[in-house]
Structure 1
């Protein structure tokens, strides 16, 4: 039996135990332990587990579920007005700076990959941290949510247009077709009578029917299939699926919506998403970095690049009147990136335009951002002055 089949679930169970055990001294996101445990168990350290086709497929489903949850958590109100405009403008600055830096490092197609990787924000990673800290309904949380939404959806569009294996013209046409079909799905989700559906969902919440969960996976697989059929990145379909589901549940009562969301989060954060992060650690090529010290030394530079390219522009979306503690926290959370970095560099390696060693450097930088930046951001957020605390009420 392939050891990875039991090692990865075992590590996924161990991660929250470690996080809880250390929580009395320091609050560290669970994803940090999932990544580190995966690296420790992988071929580069202990060698307990290695690449597996079956576990790799589950990890891809976990990645898709991560983006589904991110799409379902988007507060469209936060994308309107000043916050939405500044978040969008900040991302446009990020992609311009990222492409420029990518061109300086590796002219050609690799520049696009580097640029897209550096302008991403790990909304699916940041949202659980905000939820656990009770920040989802605050102006601070709304600003980070807007930054994360643009910082995930924008790179997904860029991946689909520039890295889909087509010329720019046909790629744009295909992207427009997907937007039309996705818009149709969103329109139907708004127009469909929700009363009867909500009643049926409620009647099956505690039975073997579980209609809500079945609808979620139907929407998810349908939009994933559409993305793959159009040769777009599947994460774009997963993200839009989350948006569609949120709109379907918009008129449900708070109690019913919470009941359904708890089941979805159980499947996502209790099963599929931890497998993705642990398996990412297992398959991470740490040996390549250790064997070439110059590459290992470049990893902190990737973190610095994320802070400059994505962190600084993210600060533009801070709530009006926010103090420096709040702006710095927002910038650090905006610079936290990993899933898009993993996805875009994998496309680059498979297409032959990105060196695997550079992929390891970029992914390591993304992992470092997840390991360090949220912890610092929430520590700074907790150290606000009384005036700054009052500004978020």
Structure 2
């Protein structure tokens, strides 16, 4: 058997072990599974149990796009539009504060564009796991999902622009990418309106496409068809694939919400297979030997502290509506942008826009943020009920 084939087999075996063991370690350590999988990847990669493989990298990329698709399934656009206007205004004000602070910090640090993208970045991937522990009746958590959904769309759009700028600079290709991005968003808006009218006049079409009694798994097939079709369109337009994957997921959540079990079915496949491969792969890109080099651990800690503090301070605009403790919980719940922070770091590093030390700092900061925020959420929630 060729050496490359043996290497691929060894990666499969090690991945099988990591994917199987991670939930048990997460339960034992009370740390979310995603950071555990990244740490697994760091350790396994450092000791040579997982080598470089083009196939491994490709499957990991598909896992990341699918993760963004799953994040989109958490966002029902029609429900978002019907959100209480005061809550929506406060959520937009909260996001605006983050971007204003990021802009000031960017000017001060002479890294405006990168800071503007990184510091306010949001992702609902880890946030959605809080519903399992705290339920769906917590106002601070429901509002955090609304703000996180809006923030994630903005973050993905900025990531798309950053990717185009890094690749093309200030050339005509950049403006072409911006044109295609605007065109894609406009088409999505028209598509949303068109489907809304179509399903209003002919509601049975939804049942035909995704029947309640579905032995052929038509709901999964349609979801996958939409996912891969959107990915293909984004590749053709040379746009960031994560944006298309996220919007595809939100269309599923918006128009096929009669299939209550669909997000669970899609998530079971993703979080049980593709997504863990992505997180383990990200871990393998981090070299433990760089961890204690100047500019890695210290920058990771500084970035983590700064991102958590500005989110908690900005969340105090909700204090009249939620009270002090729930406002802090709101800010902490949005302090875990693991997936998109990793995405921004990966795009910038692969393009040679940031050094390896800063890339590792971003990855480590993303892990620290999840762990610290989860601990602080538990502690703040304990204080809220203890001091009532």
Q: Structure 1 length normalisation: TM-score?
A: 0.85
Matching residue of 2:179: 173
Deviation at 1:367, TM superposition (A): 1.6
User: In 2, Cα distance between the equivalents of 1:219 and 1:212?
Assistant: 11
Structure 1 residue 315 displacement after superposition: 4.5
1:223/1:147 Cα in 2 relative to 1: closer, same or farther (>3 Å)?
Answer: same
Contact 1:223 1:237 in 2 (8 A): yes
1:89 matches 2:93: yes
- Mapped contact 1:121–1:334 kept (Cα < 8 A): yes
Which stretch of structure 1 is more off in the superposition, 337-346 or 303-312? 303-312
CA distance 1:186–1:36, shift in 2 (3 Å): same
1:243 pairs with 2:247: no
2:220 corresponds to which of 213, 220, 237: 213
Listed one character per residue, the Cα deviations across residues 31-51 of structure 1 (whole Å, up to 9, x for unaligned) are 2322222222122xx321133
Matched, 1:6 2:13: yes
CA shift, 1:373, in A, is 0.9
Aligned ranges for residues 2-41 of structure 1 at < 5 Å? 2=7, 3-22=10-29, 27-41=30-44
Q: Give me the CA root mean square deviation.
A: 2.4
- C-alpha separation between the residues in 2 aligned to 1:58 and 1:312? 39
User: Compared with structure 1, are the counterparts of its residues 137 and 173 closer, same or farther at alpha carbon in structure 2 (3 Å cutoff)?
Assistant: farther
Match of 2:102 among 98, 101, 105: 98
Cα deviation for residue 285 of structure 1 reads 2.8
Unaligned runs of 5+ in 2: 1-5
1:261 counterpart residue number: 263
Contact 2:94 2:315 in 1 (8 A): yes
Question: How far 1:134 moved relative to its partner?
Answer: 4.0
The equivalent of 1:391 in structure 2 is none
Give matches, 1:91-170, under 5 Å: 91-107=95-111, 111-128=112-129, 130-165=130-165, 167=170, 169-170=175-176
Q: Using a 3 Å threshold, how does the CA distance of structure 1 residues 216 and 368 change in structure 2: closer, same or farther?
A: same
Q: 1:171 to 1:244 in 2, by over 3 A?
A: same
Query: 1:301, CA displacement in angstroms?
Result: 0.3
Deviation string for 1:208-234 (max 9, x for gaps)? x21111111111112222222222211
| Shift in Å, 1:96 | 2.7
Alignment of 1:1-393 (within 5 A): 1-2=6-7, 3-22=10-29, 27-43=30-46, 46-76=47-77, 77-78=79-80, 80=83, 81-107=85-111, 111-128=112-129, 130-165=130-165, 167=170, 169-190=175-196, 191-192=198-199, 193-199=202-208, 201-202=210-211, 205=214, 207=215, 209-250=216-257, 252=258, 257-290=259-292, 292-316=293-317, 318=318, 320-385=320-385
Distance 2:162 2:264 in 1: 37
Aligned residues: 369
Structure 2 distance, partners of 1:86, 1:158, is 21
Q: Determine helix, strand or coil for the equivalent of 2:136.
A: coil
Where structure 1 has 5 or more consecutive residues not aligned to the other structure, the ranges are 389-393
Question: By how many angstroms is 1:196 displaced?
Answer: 4.3
Other structure's SS at 1:120 match: coil
